[in-house]
């Protein structure tokens, strides 16, 4: 990554670090102002693109052993969800789950719902699912709920230098539910059955 690590951990520091990086690198990007929104599907509608082009950013806490944890900024396409088991395996951990809100905000310098797909903190490892990278351009909140960025994917990869690994699973649409099949594998079934 070419950006300096965050010196301040206020929830505005991620926004400042992002724009210092994008403007300093002359990245192919544009700003999109919109009403405040942190939910991926609704922010995508406000920005005018398909939700699969949105970078959904989740800070994941990975439990390595009894006392040791790691944090991963896991970025998946907006129509997917994080596969916590895959993230745990990737880091050699026993289990993984959502980081608590204050920790996520401290590590990212962003308020919840506006986390950017860049890590400027040495204790936050950046992992991106390859499905998001299939698009020429990705969209994400700009470290604020009322502003987003459209960024060329090639520039994102160069600037963020993420670890690219499969860490997403299909989001189960509302109206469907998951159940355990007799064989023990997870499946889902439409509620209309």
CATH classification at residue 41? 3.90.960.10
Let me know if residue 187 belongs to a domain.
Answer: no
| Lookup result for tokens 């990737």 | 90
pLDDT at 181 over 70: no
Residues 39-50: what's their mean pLDDT? 96
Residue 190 in domain = no
Q: Is the predicted pLDDT of residue 105 greater than 90, yes or no?
A: yes
In a domain, 90, yes or no: yes
Q: Is residue 70 part of a domain?
A: yes
Is residue 75 situated within a structural domain?
A: yes
pLDDT at 176 over 80: no
Half-sphere CA count of 9, side-chain side, radius 13 A: 10
- Give the confidence band of 77 by pLDDT, cuts at 50, 70, 90: very high
Residues 15-37, mean pLDDT to the nearest whole number:
94
Residue 21 lies in a domain: no
Q: Is residue 191 part of a domain?
A: no
**Radius of gyration over every alpha carbon of the chain, rounded to an integer in angstroms:** 17
What percent of the chain stands above pLDDT 70?
83
Mean pLDDT of the chain: 87
Cβ pair 164, 56 in contact under 8 A:
no
Contact partners, residue 163, CB within 8 Å, separation at least 6: 90, 125, 126, 127, 128
Q: Please compute the mean of the pLDDT values over residues 99-118 and round it to a whole number.
A: 95
Asked if pLDDT for residue 71 goes beyond 70, the answer is yes
Residue 128 clears pLDDT 80, i.e. is over it: yes
Gap between the Cα atoms of 172 and 86, Å rounded: 17
- The answer to whether position 183 is within a domain reads no
Determine the pLDDT at residue 13. Answer: 86
How many domains does the chain fold into? 1
Structural tokens at position 131:
């499905």
Q: What is the pTM (predicted TM-score) of this model?
A: 0.83
Residue burial 77-116, b: 16+ Cβ < 10 Å; e: rest: bbbbbbbbebbbebbebeebeebeeebbbbbbbbbeebbb
SS (H, E, C) 17-70: HHHHHHHHCCCCEEEEECCCCCCHHHHHHHHCCCHHHEEEEEEEEEECCCCCEE
Q: Would the pLDDT of 53 be above 80?
A: yes
Give the residue from 28, 107, 111 showing the smallest Cα distance to 60.
Answer: 107
Query: Containing domain of residue 126, as a range?
Result: 29-170
User: pLDDT at position 171, please?
Assistant: 78
Looking at per-residue pLDDT, the higher value among 182 and 137 belongs to: 137
């Amino acid at each position: 990554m070419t950006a300096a690590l965050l010196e301040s951990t206020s929830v505005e520091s991620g926004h400042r670090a992002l724009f210092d990086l994008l403007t300093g690198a002359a990245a192919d990007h544009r700003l999109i102002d919109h009403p405040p929104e942190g939910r991926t599907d609704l922010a995508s509608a406000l920005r005018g693109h398909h939700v699969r082009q949105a970078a959904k950013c989740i800070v994941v806490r990975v439990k390595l052993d009894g006392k040791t944890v790691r944090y991963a900024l896991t970025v998946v396409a907006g129509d997917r969800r994080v596969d916590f088991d895959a993230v745990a395996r990737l880091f050699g951990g026993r289990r993984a789950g959502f980081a608590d809100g204050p920790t996520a905000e401290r590590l990212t310098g962003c308020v919840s719902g506006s986390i950017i797909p860049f890590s400027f903190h040495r204790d936050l490892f950046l992992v991106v699912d390859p499905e998001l990278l299939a698009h020429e351009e990705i969209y994400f909140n700009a470290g604020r709920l009322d502003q987003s960025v459209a960024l060329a994917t090639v520039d994102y990869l160069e600037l963020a230098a993420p670890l690219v690994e499969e860490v997403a699973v299909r989001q189960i649409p509302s109206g469907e539910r998951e159940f355990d099949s007799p064989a023990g594998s997870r499946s889902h079934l439409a509620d209309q059955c």
